[in-house]
Amino acid sequence: MNVDKETIWLIVGFLGQGLFSARFIVQWLKSEREKKSVFPIAFWYFSIGGGVTLLAYAVYRQDPVFIVGQLTGLFIYFRNLYFVVHERKNLGLE
């Protein structure tokens, strides 16, 4: 089976979108269990995984709008993950 470069990049794009979308499912399920709006740490990991993958796809496509959007989002996701990890360390949870 011979898969061309365009097909591989389409797969990468869909994988990134899948990871990015999974964060909302994780957040929704956790919030349902807690009966309040909650953002589990997995939300930020899925955000970063999806953001990095979509950024790679955007760079391949040479789409400056998509690139800037993903870079901005990644900064926010990493910053929020830092806050979560820092808070857990201060609380002695890690």
| Tens of pLDDT, residues 53-83 | 999 999 999 999 999 999 999 999 999 999 9
Q: Judge whether residue 49 has pLDDT over 80.
A: yes
Number of separate domains in the chain:
1
Burial class (CB in 10 A: 0-12, 13-18, 19+), 94: exposed
Tokens coding 81:
């993950």
pLDDT at 94: 65
pLDDT at 50: 94
Q: Is 16 helix (H, G, I), strand (E, B) or coil?
A: helix
Q: Judge whether residue 27 has pLDDT over 80.
A: yes
**By residue range, what is the domain housing residue 49?**
5-90
Q: Judge whether residue 25 has pLDDT over 90.
A: yes
Decide which of 94 and 27 is more confident.
27
Tokens coding 72:
């901005």
Residue that the structure tokens 């609380």 belong to? 91
Burial class (CB in 10 A: 0-12, 13-18, 19+), 75: exposed
pLDDT at 90: 87
